[in-house]
Amino acid sequence: MDNINDKILEKSKSLWGITDELVFIRRVANYIYYAPQSKVYFRLTESWHRNIEQVKSELDWMFYLQTRGIDFAHPIKSKSDEYCETVESGDEKYIVSVFKEARGKRIIEKEEFNDELLSNWGEIIGKMHSYTKDYKPSEVQRRSEWNAEEYHENILKLIRPEHGKIYEEFNRLDKLFSTFPKDNHSYGLIHADLHTGNFHVDENNQIMSFDFDDCVYGWFIYDIVVFLWALESFNLNWERVQESILEGYNKHNRIDEFWFNHMPDFYNYRVILIHYYCMKALSDRKLNETSREWMSSRVKKSRDYFNLEKPYPF
């Protein structure tokens, strides 16, 4: 299975004064462990993925959003009064941060995606986009632009003509996006990964988000597309879904129709991004068999979407 040196885990626990036996949850971009008695999550980030300054900039934006009333799974300070710590053992090095467990539960059933929930999701994103217009980083490293992120750079390193139409589409999108405006009404620091696995919903359909690891300077429409992308497998009524999302979103922010016309382009970019992230992950020898099978299936699904010319689902 995916495994981290036990010394790393013990050092991480001691820094926060946690004595629970940690339970491995998953490994995608980061390693996630749960402390069941303390009800907190440990996130261990490899140095190739983020440096400690990038993690601090993620937290800086979260704290800014908190001042504007947005709720999320809160980070917890270590015994040294730090929100993130570097932990090393041998040749392994991780940036560790700890978060409270999010209130509510993950939504996994089609019937649970009611109009109120979808509207509340749209409202959360609308608030983020409205408030981010006034955000100025404190004394931390500025988060990356969308095309300077590690994920985008993976595409540039790994993409090959033999990958088929996904190669052609990436080159088209790269040129197209370079022509798009980056004004305050359409572009800013966004979550970039607020899909169904990164928020919980309580009994009142109120949303608590988490995992801001991918926050990046990008176009607002991308946040909406990411959620639709994640909902594809639920086979919902997409006209109703988009109406409900925008009903909530428009309470706090509005974006021009131009961007909605380009939703298929941003959807295609999301598919390509996941494809090359999975290719990068598959090169990791520590990846367990279950994760490897899932990553391989995503690579195939992504290529089939382009090579078989499947229609844009929304």
Label residue 124 exposed, middle or buried (CB < 10 Å: 0-12, 13-18, 19+). buried
Q: How many whole angstroms separate alpha carbon 102 and alpha carbon 199?
A: 8
Whether the per-residue pLDDT at 61 is higher than 90: the answer is yes
pLDDT tens per residue across span 258-276: 999 999 999 999 999 999 9
Across 242-259, average pLDDT: 96
pLDDT tens per residue across span 192-244: 999 998 999 998 888 999 999 999 999 999 999 999 999 988 989 999 999 99
Whether the per-residue pLDDT at 253 is higher than 60: the answer is yes
Tokens of 257: 């129709």
Convert 236-260 to b/e letters by CB count within 10 Å (16 or more is b): beeeebbebbbbbbeebbebeeebe
pLDDT tens per residue across span 96-136: 999 999 999 998 899 999 999 999 999 999 999 999 999 99
Question: How far from chain centre, in Å, is Cα 123?
Answer: 18
Higher pLDDT, 4 or 2: 4
Compute φ and ψ for 264, nearest 5 degrees. -60, -35
Question: Which option is the CATH number for 110-307: 3.20.20.10, 3.40.109.10, 3.30.450.260, 3.90.1200.10?
Answer: 3.90.1200.10
Tokens of 163: 């990958």
Whether the per-residue pLDDT at 79 is higher than 90: the answer is yes
Q: How many whole angstroms separate alpha carbon 81 and alpha carbon 75?
A: 12
Whether the per-residue pLDDT at 1 is higher than 60: the answer is no
Across 277-290, average pLDDT: 83
Domain spans in the chain, listed from the N-terminal domain onward: 6-100, 110-307
**Per-range mean pLDDT, top range of 4-8, 81-85, 145-149:** 81-85
pTM of the predicted protein model: 0.93
- How many CB atoms within 10 Å of residue 168? 12
Question: Which option is the CATH number for 6-100: 3.30.200.20, 2.60.40.10, 3.90.79.10, 3.40.1190.20?
Answer: 3.30.200.20
Tokens of 47: 């140095």
Q: How confident is the model at residue 291 (pLDDT cuts 50, 70, 90)?
A: confident
Q: How confident is the model at residue 311 (pLDDT cuts 50, 70, 90)?
A: confident
Nearest by Cα to 277 from 194, 155, 164: 155
Across 40-51, average pLDDT: 91
Nearest by Cα to 218 from 129, 278, 85: 129
Whether the per-residue pLDDT at 8 is higher than 60: the answer is yes
Among the ranges given (162-171, 189-198, 215-224, 283-292), the one the predictor scored with the smallest mean pLDDT? 283-292
Mean per-residue pLDDT of the chain: 93
Q: What is the pLDDT of residue 2?
A: 56
User: 71 near 99, Cβ under 8 Å?
Assistant: no
